[in-house]
Amino acid sequence: MLDEVVISRAILQRFYEKLSENLEADVAIVGGGPAGLVAGYYLSKSRKKVVMFERKLSIGGGMWGGGMLFNEIVVQQDALPILDELQIRYREFQPNYYTADSVEAVSTLTSKASKAGLIVFNCMSAEDVLMRKDRVTGLVLNWSAVEIAGLHVDPLSMRARYVIDATGHATEVVHVVRKKVPGRLLTESGEIEGEKSMWSDRAEALTLENTREVFSGLYVAGMAANATFGGPRMGPIFGGMLRSGKKAASLILEKLDTQAGEGS
Ligand code: 48F
């Protein structure tokens, strides 16, 4: 016999435990596109406590739709080691251009990241940040449904040692921080430099270069990195997104491991 109330209680209790246990983390990632997912995979694999918040019901961001809904993605040579590690299959189109099925790419990446320990809360949006002494120390969260409906409902908060803005073109967390500390971002102008027009070759290189700390405690990865530091967009080529996620993870791992060594 199956009892509907037991089913409901199981969901409520398990979800409550999961949320409550993850209100403090080493790293909070905002946005579950390719960059955020890869960062989450590498950080979780290194046994850090990592929580991801994604506004939509599904994670994967802009990767599902390939280019203009043709659901194949292009990845260049230098990102193939990441596809190999994740066991995402690809085929050579011509030298330095490889294609992968976008559905296999998103689902495999999601599975590997979850199994490595990444905790994902979907349908939750970061609407603000916690700040202490000029440092980002966490996120202010609300249900996406509340946000979309425009309801007046107060949010909840979580604390993290580092936050990654992986919100893509919108670069939402950086925008929130910029409003509080105008002129003090770690960009050339101190402001958000803004995304430039499409230039795949340059954009892919810059995505990696621009993946870094933009304010104390806050890193940018993926398209958010270029939107913050003034790089161009790149279109449906994903090597830069994958490598950016990996770089963000390794920069933060370095910091966490140094702090652990210093006993802080
Ligand atoms: O846009 P998205 O896929 O970001 P990405 O990882 O990858 C960019 C590529 O998809 C593509 C491209 C590649 O060549 O240019 O655009 O940089 O994923 C961003 C995710 O963040 C979520 C959003 O729903 C999407 O799934 N997101 C955005 N703002 C918030 C958020 C927020 N405030 N809270 C939670 N999730």
Question: For 43-100, how does the pLDDT look when each residue is reduced to its tens digit (9 = 90+)?
Answer: 999 999 999 999 999 999 999 999 999 999 999 999 999 999 999 999 999 999 999 9
Does residue 137 line the site of ligand 1, with CB under 6 A? no
> Taking the CB of residue 174, how many other CB atoms lie within 10 A of it?
24
CA 2 to ligand 1 center in whole angstroms:
39
CA 11 to ligand 1 center in whole angstroms:
28
Of 70, 167, 220, best ligand 1 pocket probe by most atoms within 8 Å of the beta carbon: 167
Report domain extents, the chain: 22-64+103-263
Please state, in angstroms and as integers, the Cα–Cα distance from residue 3 to each residue in 6, 8, 9, 12, 16, following that order. Answer: 5, 9, 10, 15, 20
| pLDDT (0 to 100) of residue 205 | 94
Query: pLDDT for 118-157, tens place per residue?
Result: 999 999 999 999 999 899 999 999 999 999 999 999 999 9
CA 255 to ligand 1 center in whole angstroms:
25
Name the CATH architecture for the domain at 22-64+103-263. 3-Layer(bba) Sandwich (3.50)
Atom of ligand 1 nearest to the CA of 36: 6
DSSP state of 118: -
Query: pLDDT for 177-219, tens place per residue?
Result: 999 999 999 999 999 999 999 999 999 999 999 999 999 999 9
